Every structure is written in C-alpha cells, then in structure tokens.
Amino acid sequence: MSFQGAPDRVLTIPTAPDAGAGANFPMNEPVLGYRAWLVERGRHGCRLRGVMVPAEWAGAPCTWTAAVCAPPAGSASRMVRHDPACVPHPDCTCGLYAYDSLSSGGYDERLGQAYGAEVGIVWGAVVGAGRVLAYRDSWRAQFARPVAMLQGSGDDRDVRGVAEQLGVPAVPMSGIHRVAAEFGRSAMVLAAR
C-alpha cells in the first residue's frame, strides 16, 4: 500500500474554478474511496480530523475539504517544495488520502466497536476531485468530502453525530458500497476511460 512516489495514474476531475476550503460545487464523477477519521466532540457538534495528520475536515453538508501542503508542526510528514497549485504532488505527502476499499485501508468490522468508543475513530466513504494521484489500492486528492458514514465503525454517538452534521447517511457494512457508488467511481474505473 503506497500513497507516495510515482502514481499509477494522475486524474484530473473537473471542479469549479473557485473551489477551496468550504466551497460548494457540483461533482463531476469524483473518485470514490474509504477512510478513517478522528472525531473531536465539542460544543458545536463533531469535527473530523485526519488520523495520521490531524488536519481538520470541512464540517458542513456538501462542503469540500481542500488539501494544503503544510504539515502541522511536530508531524512526521515529509514536505517537498513544489508549486502550491500542484497538490497533491507525487514527491510530497500532501493531499487528502483514501483507500479503494475498506479492507485495503485495514478496516475490520470485528474491531470497530472494540476501539471506537475510547479512541473516537469512525470510518466512511469519501469522494475526491481536482488533481487525483491514483495508486494500486489508494489515492490522494486535491479536494475531498465524506458521502456516507459506516455504522458500527466507532462509537454510535460519533457515527450518528457526524452523519447528521454532514447531512450524509450512516449505513451498515452491507450497504456502504451501494450508497457510496451513488457519489463516485473507483480510481481504476475512471482511469480506464
């Protein structure tokens, strides 16, 4: 499983020219993936953060998160100088990450409830757009947003809270692939076109 280096494919999925953090724009066949987030509970609801790099994700319905090439202080992320318009860059760690399947991401439904309540981790389906670097079983994108939360992947209060706040469905394992497919296609399917 690799997220860095030369991608198998570089996709450009059209987005609105003014897309950025918090921008809303129509999707045009985005790339579909799955990932985990840390859930941070607060007075104003739940916030999603990345697991490895704790960058905050947009917290409103239908809002895209924009990748930024600036690892947080103290993180182990490798940053390579490049044109900021070229995010994600193959030689850098920037971009919003996702896996082509829950299993390639390491999700095991037997473990979801076991660690979810203490750690505050939830899993879900996500779509990516803009510049997308596609690898064998994963991708990194310039823009991404959650489209479904996976029931049982963490504390039920977190899963429901995040789903309600983002205006996305919380679905069981048996239905997440069907629901997610309404929003995008796998990177390999899009690359084959």
pTM for this prediction: 0.79
Q: What is the pLDDT of residue 5?
A: 54
Q: Could you tell me the residue ranges of all domains in the chain?
A: 9-69+77-192
% residues pLDDT > 70 (the chain): 69
| pLDDT digits 0-9 by tens, 171-192 | 999 999 999 888 877 765 555 5
| pLDDT digits 0-9 by tens, 136-157 | 889 999 999 999 999 999 889 9
* CA of residue 160 relative to chain centroid, distance: 18
SS3 assignment, position 48: strand
SS3 assignment, position 165: helix
Q: Looking at per-residue confidence, does 107 or 171 come out higher? A: 171
183: tokens are 């929003």
